[in-house]
Structure 1
Amino acid sequence: MARGRSPGYDDQREMILRHAAELFARSGYPATSMNEVAEACGLSKPTLYHYFRDKYNLLVHIADGHVSRLQALVEEVEARGLAPEPRLRELIHRFVEEYAEAQHAHRVLTEDVRFLKEEDRDRILGKERAVVSAFASALAQMRPDTEAAGLSKALTMLLFGMINWMFTWLKPDGELNYETMAPIVADLFFGGVPAVSMPALDSLRSRRA
């Protein structure tokens, strides 16, 4: 008869992933050892291996878990059936708030994805592309000429530039926090989008040719 998992098994796994993500984000995946992960978690190495078979397994779970949570946020917002602008605003708010708790995991996703095996990398980046596509779709519905000019994804990536790297300067114990900054990011983006002039279509076509 197979032995069941202890009541705290999932919580212990999440604790390990949090510590591993922080170590990977700070020192890089290649430079971090399982000994360091075990020490940061207050666990013995045999206990650590009971939860994760190796360092690569940790990397996959951190990156996949993070982007899967982002996907779930998109699905929750999409299910509300909001109009394009409120939908995009809600996505911005939810993502900024999520990053407040997932700074290290996000750094791992952006910087250590190159260490993933092709199959894992393709799966995880596929989820990431789906997330970006949801933002770009809401933007294109709000302002269709961005799609016609081939700019909806580019503008979306500029938006992610604001969201993704906020953790490099916004301090957890500072005067500003993510809850305060979320509507500011949305206002800044929406205040600027109407001012964007679309390039002439003939000019774009000639560059693509």
Structure 2
Amino acid sequence: MARSRARDFEAKQRAILRAAAAVFAEAGMDKASMAQIATRADMSKALLYHYYPGKDALIFDIIRTHLTELDAAIAAAEDTKLPPRDRLRALVHAVLEQYRDADDYHMVQLNGTRALAADQRQVIVMLERGIVRRFSTVIRAIHPQIDHERPILTAVTMSLFGMMNWAYMWFRDGGPVTRTDYADIATDIFLGGFERLQ
């Protein structure tokens, strides 16, 4: 008879993912061990293995969870009734807010995807493409001719992601620039430079 799930299965799973992301971010994917993750999650190694069979499964679930929740936050912020520029600003705000307290998850996504099996990478790539597509759709609405003269929509979209994704390297909550401030700064820089492309 199959073992039934504990009532707190999802809460424990989330705690494991947080602990694992912290260990991976500190020690690196190769040096981190299941023993370190179990200690950080305050559980036995045997219980950890009940949830995840190994590091690869943890890395995959950290990235998959991070991207799924990011996509959901972007979808919730998307309002097609707004003018395209305001829609873009709302999406940038949603991403940077979702990144709050998610630096460890973000580092695992940036550094761990290459360690995944091909089928796992495919899942991650599809999630990433869906998120990028949400932004490129709005960017095209701002400038419908963007891909007609030169095929630069992807380059332009990924430039905006560069401003958002690498903020974790320097941005700290409580500093002189708030997360909301930076969302507006990034959007304004992007839109200002975007005008020059036109």
How many angstroms apart in 2 are the aligned matches of 1:47 and 1:119? 26
For structure 1, list consecutive stretches of 5 or more residues without a partner in the other structure: 198-209
- Quote the residue 1:26 is aligned against: 26
How many angstroms apart in 1 are the aligned matches of 2:82 and 2:101? 26
TM-score w.r.t. length of structure 2: 0.91
How many angstroms apart in 1 are the aligned matches of 2:78 and 2:184? 19
- Quote the residue 2:83 is aligned against: 83
Q: Trace 1:123-202 onto structure 2 (pairs within 5 A).
A: 123-148=123-148, 149-197=150-198
Residues 88 and 138, structure 1, Cα contact 8 Å, conserved in 2: yes
How many angstroms apart in 1 are the aligned matches of 2:177 and 2:11? 30
Runs ≥4 residues deviating over 4 A: 1-4
For structure 2, list consecutive stretches of 5 or more residues without a partner in the other structure: none
Residues 79 and 87, structure 2, Cα contact 8 Å, conserved in 1: no
Moved more, 66-75 or 14-23: 66-75
Residues 21 and 105, structure 1, Cα contact 8 Å, conserved in 2: yes
Residues 63 and 108, structure 1, Cα contact 8 Å, conserved in 2: yes
Question: Does residue 1:57 correspond to 2:57, yes or no?
Answer: yes
Aligned residue pairs, count = 197
- Identity, in percent, stands at 34
**What is the CA distance between 1:91 and its match in structure 2?**
0.7
**What is the CA distance between 1:173 and its match in structure 2?**
4.3
- Quote the residue 2:69 is aligned against: 69
Residues 38 and 45, structure 2, Cα contact 8 Å, conserved in 1: yes
Q: Trace 1:97-136 onto structure 2 (pairs within 5 A).
A: 97-136=97-136
Residue by residue over 1:116-139, the C-alpha shift from the partner in whole angstroms, topping out at 9 and shown as x without a partner, is 100110111111011111111110
**What is the CA distance between 1:181 and its match in structure 2?**
1.6
Residues 33 and 55, structure 1, Cα contact 8 Å, conserved in 2: yes
**What is the CA distance between 1:18 and its match in structure 2?**
0.9
Residues 78 and 91, structure 2, Cα contact 8 Å, conserved in 1: no
TM-score w.r.t. length of structure 1: 0.86
Classify 1:79/1:52 alpha carbon distance in 2 versus 1 (closer, same or farther; 3 Å): farther
**What is the CA distance between 1:161 and its match in structure 2?**
0.6
Q: Trace 1:8-47 onto structure 2 (pairs within 5 A).
A: 8-47=8-47
Larger Cα Rg: Structure 1 or Structure 2?
A: 1
**What is the CA distance between 1:81 and its match in structure 2?**
4.2
